[in-house]
Amino acid sequence: MPVTEKPKSPSERILESRRKFMKSVGFGGVAAAATVVAPAVVRAQAPIKWRLQTYSGAPLGAHVIKPQIDAFNIAANGEMVIELYYADQLVPTAELFRAMQQGTIDAVQSDDATMASPVDIAVFGGYFPFNTRFSLDLPALFAYYGLNEIWAEAYGEVENVTWLSAGAWDPLHIFTKTPIRSLADMSGKRVFGVPTAGKFLSRYGLVPVTVPWDNVEVAIQTGELDGVAWCGFTEAYEVGWADVCNYALTNSVTGAWCGSYFANTESWKKVPPHLQQLFRSTIDQSHYYRNVWYWGGEAKLRVEGEKMELTSLPDAEWAQVVNDSKEFWDEVAASSPRSAKVVEAFKVYANTMEKAGYPYR
């Protein structure tokens, strides 16, 4: 008797089609990188070996970093090999910075706040409330509003750590087992979330809880967590959190997560210039991949994804949250002169985008 294949759900079809698309346009990791493989050369010396750990678990890491590392390893043509490790595989995420600084690992992909960077601008890593509306806002801020120079200056003061590049991820939404239809509904909800956004949202009673990334789904199932305030729709569906959460709050606290690449300075100095450039180029490839992957997925899964019911805050309450963020900005700006520069850049950028109008705002 022939086996009837189970019809795919709308979200399964969306995820499948997007994976095929990413491969077809050259984002397929190893396959894509094959076009830049240099001729084989016999080498007398052993390759440089790095260990890089990302903040993300394996299902998410398959998109946010693995294609880049696969591409680099092929293009390096045996001169250098990067071993990729996912969240908590070598060290706990909160210890990533120290482990890299000490040389236990050679490089890190993470936001500043989650890995406990000892710099005054760490608060801006991850999700900073309302500093961006779209994913392109973040690279524009770094390229044209001085953030590249500020990050380089801050990490230049830290021994044995080199900041390499920042890029945008997805917007921040809140996914929960029970609905949030008002600010009062946030009170007491325990969510897995990133530090800065969690601190801001805690004023409405949300309780940020830290657990290992791979334990989040089970923690929601057992009731240890009530949901997540960590990501957008794409990640929630990709990693399985949409299967254990029933509701999605459409109000986005910020438009893009800010993550960076860092290297142990001594490890970085041992890499010859042409491989340093190759690593930087594949980082840019990773930034581009994520912008396409997230931007396409967020809208499609919000509209066609069937696993979570959409809820929204009343307009007046949402206006209160937006207004509260201004106070939060001023509090952070007062924490250090460098933080004040970042907040001023946010204000100038937001004003410019509002004046520019459509399609910027």
User: What single DSSP character describes residue 126?
Assistant: B
Backbone angles phi, psi at 282, to 5 degrees: -75, -25
Domain positions in the chain are 18-37+45-169+257-301, 173-255+307-356
Query: Are 18-37+45-169+257-301 and 173-255+307-356 equal in CATH topology?
Result: yes
**In the CATH scheme, what is the code of domain 173-255+307-356?**
3.40.190.170
Rounded to an integer, what distance in angstroms lies between the CA atom of residue 335 and that of residue 153? Answer: 17
Classify residue 293 as exposed, middle or buried by CB count within 10 Å of its CB (0-12, 13-18, 19+).
buried
Report yes or no: 247 and 177 within 8 Å, Cβ to Cβ.
yes
The pTM (predicted TM-score) of the whole model is 0.89
| List of residues 6+ apart from 39 with CB closer than 8 A | none
Rounded to an integer, what distance in angstroms lies between the CA atom of residue 219 and that of residue 193? Answer: 13
Interval 296-355: pLDDT, tens: 989 999 999 999 999 999 999 999 999 999 999 999 999 999 999 999 999 999 999 999
Report yes or no: 328 and 253 within 8 Å, Cβ to Cβ.
no
Interval 28-57: pLDDT, tens: 544 344 444 444 444 557 999 999 999 999
Distance, CA of 73 to chain centre: 22
Residue 195 is encoded by which pair of tokens?
């530090």
Q: pLDDT 10s digit of each residue in the chain, 361 long?
A: 555 667 777 777 766 765 665 555 455 544 344 444 444 444 557 999 999 999 999 999 999 999 999 999 999 999 999 999 999 999 999 999 999 999 999 999 999 999 999 999 999 999 999 999 999 999 999 999 999 999 999 999 999 999 999 999 999 999 999 999 999 999 999 999 889 999 999 999 999 999 999 899 999 999 999 999 999 999 999 999 999 999 999 999 999 999 999 999 999 999 999 999 999 999 999 999 999 999 998 999 999 999 999 999 999 999 999 999 999 999 999 999 999 999 999 999 999 999 999 999 9
Give how far Cα 115 sits from Cα of 53, 92, 182, 344, Å.
11, 9, 31, 25
The pLDDT assigned to 7 comes to 74
Tell me the angle at which helices 315-333 and 337-356 cross, rounded to the nearest 10 degrees.
140
**In the CATH scheme, what is the code of domain 18-37+45-169+257-301?**
3.40.190.170
Classify residue 239 as exposed, middle or buried by CB count within 10 Å of its CB (0-12, 13-18, 19+).
buried
The pLDDT assigned to 275 comes to 98
Q: What is the largest CA-CA distance in the chain?
A: 73
Residue 204 is encoded by which pair of tokens?
């409405």
Residue 59 is encoded by which pair of tokens?
């299902």
Residue that is written with structure tokens 């795919």 in the block? 8
| List of residues 6+ apart from 232 with CB closer than 8 A | 170, 171, 172, 173, 252, 294, 297, 298
Q: How many CB atoms lie within 10 A of CB 106?
A: 23
Degrees, nearest 5: CA angle 185-211-50: 135
